[in-house]
Structure 1
Amino acid sequence: MLNGSLKLSLLECGCNVNDISIKLDGGASWLYQGLIDAFEGKIGSAVENAVSKKIRDAIIKLDLQLQSLPKEAPITNFAELNVTFVDDPELSESSLDLEVDGLFSAKHEAALSNHYHRLLQASSSCKEADKMVKISLQENVMKSASSVYFEANKMHWIVDKVPDQSLLNTAGWRFIIPQLYKMYPNHDMNLNLSVSSPPILNVEKQQIKAKIPLDVVIDVLDVEEVIPVACISTVISASVSPGISGNALTGYVKLNDITMSLKWSKIGDLHMNLVQMLMSTTLRTVVLPYVNLKLSKGFQIPVFHGYGLQDAHILCTDSWIVICSDVAPVKQFNLI
């Protein structure tokens, strides 16, 4: 391995022809047969040299191809995956073990590499012995993805439509926040949701625990002006059940707990118990279904030289996500 790329070097190469036999039939074959017998040693030596040269040339060609493998795999227009190798390959009787960095980074930015080498327990191995590949993802891969998406400002949503649209009018809040209705009677509102720091993710058995710090800003729509009137600091604790569909990672989020506190307000003190009840309903009925809809569509796993996953299974264990799968040409998926 050299600078994150695989390097193949030929230590020794030789070809030994123990015996060579060439027989000619017909015509003047007796004459040519004598010449061939006379030069049998030189013919054998030429074969040895030719075979050795072919092997050396093949090793050099393969080494150049290994050196040309990409070190980054694009994921989105702002994120990429570090696929540099972090250890020498390990070859066994039935498998080839390759370890890559696997951390996400913003495009055109160097990522800080951390190598988390650890042997997985037998319980986390693929049960299907005939699966072609096993991909093991350490939880820091997800943490790096979370950080990149956060820095790219992709964890921001504006809620302007809910099943009960009266909740997005100050009249619907007049008993919960009377001052809001008094200052802005019958004004439409929206909720501006922004993740305030990268979510904390931990992989446990059969699930991923997530703690998401969220700022919820209440905006009042006054003619063509958007007026922020209060900000509620929120921490959401959730469980994520990961899945895999085709060549995409999917998931489903279950809400475990919500805590809220007033960060700032232009409309006086708020009755946070009542606000939390209303906000919790909004998160459960609007935000969570939206997130689960996005997760159901999945995040594409990078295709490697035209090949993707097929009939894949996923499981979680302590700090690791393991994917067991066959592989097939990507074009084949489009025909199904």
Structure 2
Amino acid sequence: MFLFFWPALLALIPLSISVSPGVKVKLTQKGLEYGRQLGMASVQQKLKTLKVPDISGAEKVNPIGKVHYTLSNMKIMDVGLPQSEVDLVPGTGFRLAIGNAFISMNGNWKVKYLRLMKDHGSFDLTVKGLTITTSIAINSDETGRPTVSNLNCAATVGSASIKFHGGASWLYNLFNKFIDKGLRKALQQQICPLVADAVSDMNPKLKTLNVLAKVDQYAEIEYSMVSSPAVSTSSVDLSLKGEFYNIAKHQEPPFSPSAFALPPEVNDMLYIGVSSFTANSAAFVYSKAGVLSLYITDDMIPQGSPIRLNTRTFGAFVPQIAKQFPGLLMKLLVKTVKNPVITFEPNNVTIQTSGAVTAYAIQPNATLTPLFVLNLDSSVSARVFVSGMSLAGAVTLNKMDLTLGTSYVGEFQVRSLDNIFQMVLKLVVIPKLNAKLAKGYPLPTLGKMKLVNTQLQVLKDYMLIGTDVQFMG
């Protein structure tokens, strides 16, 4: 599975368009080593599919004369790959080298000599000193997904040793002398095509990269590549678009990603940097979709709360409400009026919102009578964490500021309503928001990829996720 894992994390090789990334990915040497370990099992299985052709010929053997021989029905029994290494090739991809490998097989033999003399039996054969070196290039297709291709391959077979069952001792000299060379040549001709097939077999798996990941009925995230990978001798740095879009219509926000660089971390296999641009593009999409609004009614307030959404409660602070609309339930509409602004500072994520709260009295015939409109500026802090293959969060209220926008019941002191609206935000609005945030937003992933031992830290203008990786199945 090496050829699956390594290009999988390079699944972020972009189309040549000049766009600043919202998300960056770094594959470290530790990740490369994990890929090598997985890859040996994949290469081993591929080599077990070698088809060894029958070998026949005729040679003169003293003092017997000409001997006609055939080795047939040769089957691979075992493949050993005790030594292997993988290296990055700056600007290209990577190189896989396998050394001191062996292949064990068995088959049947028969000979004919002196016209009428025949003999036959079985044999066990071990091919030793097998080496394979291959270079693999990584490119991207028209969808922004990666493709891999074999650049060059070299394979050599050191020697073959045969143990015969049945027959005379002179057979050893015949087979060791003449067949060893032919067998090695037959194997060498097949190994590199099998390696090329193994590389090509990865492309369907690489197409599982979630270049466009659906979030919900409103939004999706694009993870297409925006520049070529920066391959060094120790890591691969990749750039992804990392932008939320409205599913119905892709519209660019009125802001662009700011440059950021991942630190030279080496402890984990994989690092993912998610910029504040990505978070703010989500806020832009949901704000444009008109879904950052919420109607609040009294039945949404916990039963034990002394504060109710009715004209009696509000009349205690704004007497004219109780006088003009006695004994009525109320409804509140809370909505944003500007795109929320999300900022990342070390160990701190803050969301600033500018909104409006419209209060209505619910008439006996269910019509709504507006009472007042308040301007609501609020700040919340977010705790962000990785849940499965998603980035999730939860917010808490920092502060809020109320000012009067419009009153339909005369002048009143807005500050007297602070406690009511703090309660509404904490008991209704924020729990609703947290329920949404808890569902998470998909990270870039490939196939049955799993993050392990994940850590997240908030830095200036981006979040850094450090993680190990497992591929399941």
Deviation for aligned residue 1:187: 1.2
Q: CA deviation at 1:145?
A: 1.8
* Counterpart position of 1:20: 159
Correspondent of 1:217 among 347, 355, 358: 358
CA separation of 1:57 and 1:199: change in aligned 2, threshold 3 A: same
Asked if 1:325 corresponds to 2:462, the answer is: no
Counterpart pick for 2:293 among 130, 152, 156: 156
Three-state SS of the structure 2 residue aligned to 1:168 is coil
Structure 1 gaps of 5+ residues are 332-336
Structure 1 length-normalised TM: 0.79
Indicate whether 1:199 and 2:199 are aligned: no
Q: Structure 1 pair 183/260, CA: closer, same or farther in 2 (3 Å)? A: same
Deviation of the 1:135 alpha carbon:
2.3
* 1:260-312 deviation per Cα after TM superposition (whole angstroms, max 9, x unaligned): 333333333343333445434433454345545655x4525456423333443
Assess, with a 3 A threshold, how the Cα gap between structure 1 residues 318 and 181 changes in structure 2: closer, same or farther. Answer: same
Find the residue that maps to 1:120 and give its secondary structure.
coil
Q: Decide whether the 8 Å contact of 2:392 with 2:441 is kept in 1.
A: no
State which drifts further: 185-194 or 300-309. Answer: 300-309
Deviates more, 1:110-119 or 1:162-171: 110-119
Per the alignment, do residues 172 and 165 of structure 1 end up closer, same or farther by CA in structure 2, a change over 3 Å counting?
A: same
RMSD: 3.4
1:64-213 equivalence runs, <5 A: 64-67=204-207, 69-89=209-229, 97-107=237-247, 109-110=249-250, 112=252, 118-121=260-263, 125=265, 129=267, 131-161=268-298, 162-163=301-302, 164=305, 166-213=307-354
Do 1:139 and 1:203's aligned partners in 2 also have CA atoms closer than 8 Å?
Answer: yes
Q: Quote the residue 2:429 is aligned against.
A: 287
More strand by share: 2
Structure 1 contact 89–96 (Cα < 8 Å) conserved: yes
1:144, CA displacement in angstroms? 1.6
**Cα contact 2:208–2:446 (8 A) shared by 1:** no
* 1:84–1:33 distance in 2 versus 1, CA, 3 Å: farther
Shift of the alpha carbon at 1:118?
3.3
State the Cα distance separating 1:317 from its structure 2 match: 0.7
Q: CA deviation at 1:50?
A: 0.9
Change (3 A) 1:284 1:82: same
2:317 aligned counterpart, secondary structure: coil
Inter-partner Cα distance in structure 2 for 1:194 and 1:62: 48
Is residue 394 of structure 2 the alignment partner of residue 257 of structure 1? no
Deviation at 1:28, TM superposition (A): 5.2
Q: Which amino acid aligns with 2:275?
A: Q
Count of aligned positions: 324
Q: In the alignment, which residue of structure 1 is the partner of 2:378?
A: 236
Distance change (3 Å), C-alpha of 1:12 and 1:294:
closer
2:174 corresponds in structure 1 to: 34
Distance apart, 1:21 and its partner CA: 3.6
* Cα gap change, 1:30 to 1:93, in 2 (>3 Å): farther
Shift of 1:325: 3.1
CA distance in 1: counterparts of 2:351 and 2:469, whole angstroms: 30
Instruction: Give the whole-Å Cα distance in 2 for the aligned partners of 1:204 and 1:326.
Output: 25
Kept after mapping to 2: 8 A contact 1:104/1:111: no
Find the partner of 1:60 among 181, 192, 200: 200
| C-alpha contact (below 8 Å) 2:205/2:447 kept by paired residues | no
Which letter maps to 2:273?
A: S
Structure with higher Rg: it is 2
